[in-house]
Amino acid sequence: MDSNLLLSLTKNILSVNATEVTDMDNSLAQFEDKYCFDSDLQPMYTADALHYLLSSAVANTFYEIVDYFNISILFFLYNDKRYIVGPYVKSGLSDSQIESILIEHNAPVSKSLTLKLYYTELPILYTAQLQKTVEGIIHTLDTDSVEFEYRRLTGFINDFDSETSDTYEEKNYSEIYKRYENEKRFLLMIKNGDVENIMTAYNDITNRNQSITTSNTFKNYYTSASSFAILRTLVRKAAEESGLSVITIDSITQKYVQLFSNLSLDSHNKYVADMVLELTQAVRNHRLSYGKYSDTIQRVIEFIDLHLSAEITLEMISEYIGISISHLSMMFKKETGETISTFIAKQRCKKAASLLKETNLPIQEISSFIGYNDNNYFVKVFKKYYGVTPSNYRNG
C-alpha cells in the first residue's frame, strides 16, 4: 500500500494532520514540538509517552487518545507502519471551560488565550467519521485489508464514563516510563540472545519480581490473555533485528499461538515465558553460528536451511541473492572457509543426525527428507562427516 497516498488522501479529505512515524525518536520529537501545547496538561502527547504507546500498538486497531480539553489523536499500526492522525477536536470549548481546566490543574490562567488559539486551529472531527474515512481509504488502496477494531485510551483523564470501562487504562505516568524502560531492556536482551537474563527481564515487565511495586492496572495489563498479541509483536520484531530468519521466528511464535487457544490464564503465562525463552535461545544459536558472517552470506545460509529437502543449485542461490555465481562462490568460501556444496552436505548430514537420534524414522525416509534420493549416496556422505554409517550413529 502506498503510505504517501494514504497520508495525502487523509489530509485532503479530512483537513487534518496525518503522519507516518518512520523514525520513532525523530518523528515523535517533531510531533511533540509541533502539537503538544503543554506537557503537563497533555502528557500523552510527549515523545516518550507516544513512543511507548505506538510500540505497544496491535495491528489493524485504531487507538484514540482524548485529553483534558477534548483534544484527540488517532494512531494505528498497519503493514508494519505506524501512523498518527490529528490532533483534532470534537466540539468547541468556551473560555470558562478552558479556565476551569487550567485552574483545576494548577496551570496559570494566563495560558487561556494561547490555548484557545491552539484549540481553534484544530479541525472538528467525530470519531466515527474519522475512523470510517481512514478505513475506507485503506480499503481503497489495499483491497486485501481487514476491518479495524477501535479502542479509546482512557485513564489520561479522570472523567470518563462507563462506555470506556473496558478499555486500556493508564492513570500513573511514572508507571508508563518504568514499563517503557523495562521493555527496552527486555527487547534488547532478545535481540542479543541473552538467555541467562531474559527471564529476569520478562519477570520485570510482567511484575513477577517482588521488588517492583505497581498498581493492579499495571499488573493485569501484562498478565492478561490479551497482552500476548502485543508481546508477540514486540518479541518478533526484536528477534528479527538480530538477523534471525523470519521463517524461524514465525515457526516458533505460531506454535505458541496454536497452544494458547484452550489454555487457562496460568498456563497462558507459562507458555508466553516459554516462547520468549525459546525465541531468545534461537537468537543466541543464530548469533553463535552465523553472526560473524555478512548479511549476504547469512541469507545464503538461510536459503540453504529452508531448502534442504529440495534440489539446491548455485544458479538458484545466485538468483535469490542477486549476485553472480562466481562472486557468490568466492565470497562464501572467503567467509566460511568452505565451498557452498560442502556446506550444503554438512547441513544435510547435521539435520539427518538430529533425526536419527530424535525419531524412529527409517533411514531411507530421512535420506529422502534431507534431499538425497539415493540412499547409498547418503550413507557415503554421512560416513564422510561423522565417521560412521547412519545406522551405527543411531545405535551408538
Which structural domains are found in the chain, ordered by start?
A: 3-171 (no CATH), 174-290 (no CATH), 295-395 (1.10.10.60)
**CB-side exposure of 374: number of CA atoms within 13 Å?**
5
Calpha distance 172→57 (Å, rounded):
19
Locus of grid cell 479556565: 99
Mean pLDDT throughout 37-61?
Answer: 87
Residue 43: DSSP 8-state: G
What is the per-residue pLDDT across 244-276, written as a single tens digit (0 to 9) for each?
887 788 888 888 877 766 555 556 677 888 899
Are 353 and 364 contacting, i.e. CB atoms less than 8 angstroms apart?
A: no
Q: Which of 291, 274, 295 is nearest to 195 (CA)?
A: 274
Q: Which of 55, 63, 69 is nearest to 85 (CA)?
A: 63
C-alpha distances (whole Å) from 207 to each of 155, 169, 216, 218, 250 are 20, 17, 10, 8, 27
Calpha distance 115→306 (Å, rounded):
59
Mean pLDDT throughout 352-369?
Answer: 91
- Grid coordinates of 206: 510482567
For the four alpha carbons of 217, 220, 226 and 232, in that order, the dihedral sign comes to positive
Q: Which of 43, 28, 45 is nearest to 122 (CA)?
A: 45
Are 396 and 388 contacting, i.e. CB atoms less than 8 angstroms apart?
A: yes
| % of the chain at pLDDT higher than 90 | 41
Instruction: Quickly list DSSP for 287-309.
Output: HHHHTTS-HHHHHHHHHHHHTTT
> Is the pLDDT confidence value at 312 over 60?
yes
| % of the chain at pLDDT higher than 70 | 85
Task: Report the pLDDT value the prediction gives residue 379, as an integer from 0 to 100.
Answer: 95
Q: Which residues of 297-308 are buried (b: 16+ CB within 10 A; e: fewer)?
A: bbbbbbebbeeb
> Is the pLDDT confidence value at 176 over 80?
no
Calpha distance 59→305 (Å, rounded):
30
Burial of 158 (0-12, 13-18, 19+ CB in 10 A): exposed
172 versus 127: which is more confidently predicted? 127
- Grid coordinates of 183: 521493555
Calpha distance 337→129 (Å, rounded):
62
Q: Is the peptide bond before 108 cis (omega within 30 degrees of 0)?
A: no
What is the per-residue pLDDT across 65-85, written as a single tens digit (0 to 9) for each?
888 788 999 999 999 999 999
Instruction: Quickly list DSSP for 9-36.
Output: HHHHHH---EEEESSHHHHHHHHHHHH-
What is the three-class DSSP state of 219? Answer: helix
What is the per-residue pLDDT across 95-137, written as a single tens digit (0 to 9) for each?
778 877 787 777 777 788 888 888 889 999 988 889 999 999 9
Other CB atoms closer than 10 Å to residue 75's CB: what's the count?
21
Which range, of 255-259, 298-302, 345-349, averages the lowest pLDDT?
255-259
Task: Report the pLDDT value the prediction gives residue 265, as an integer from 0 to 100.
Answer: 54
Residue 84: DSSP 8-state: E
Strands (E) in the chain, as ranges, are: 18-21, 61-66, 71-78, 81-89, 149-153
Q: What are phi and psi of 245, to 5 degrees?
A: -55, 135
Locus of grid cell 485532503: 12
> Is the pLDDT confidence value at 10 over 50?
yes
What is the three-class DSSP state of 347? Answer: helix
Task: Report the pLDDT value the prediction gives residue 164, as an integer from 0 to 100.
Answer: 38
Task: Report the pLDDT value the prediction gives residue 177, as an integer from 0 to 100.
Answer: 60
272 versus 194: which is more confidently predicted? 194
Q: How many residues does the chain have?
A: 396
Task: Report the pLDDT value the prediction gives residue 14, as an integer from 0 to 100.
Answer: 92
Task: Report the pLDDT value the prediction gives residue 218, as an integer from 0 to 100.
Answer: 40
Calpha distance 88→71 (Å, rounded):
6
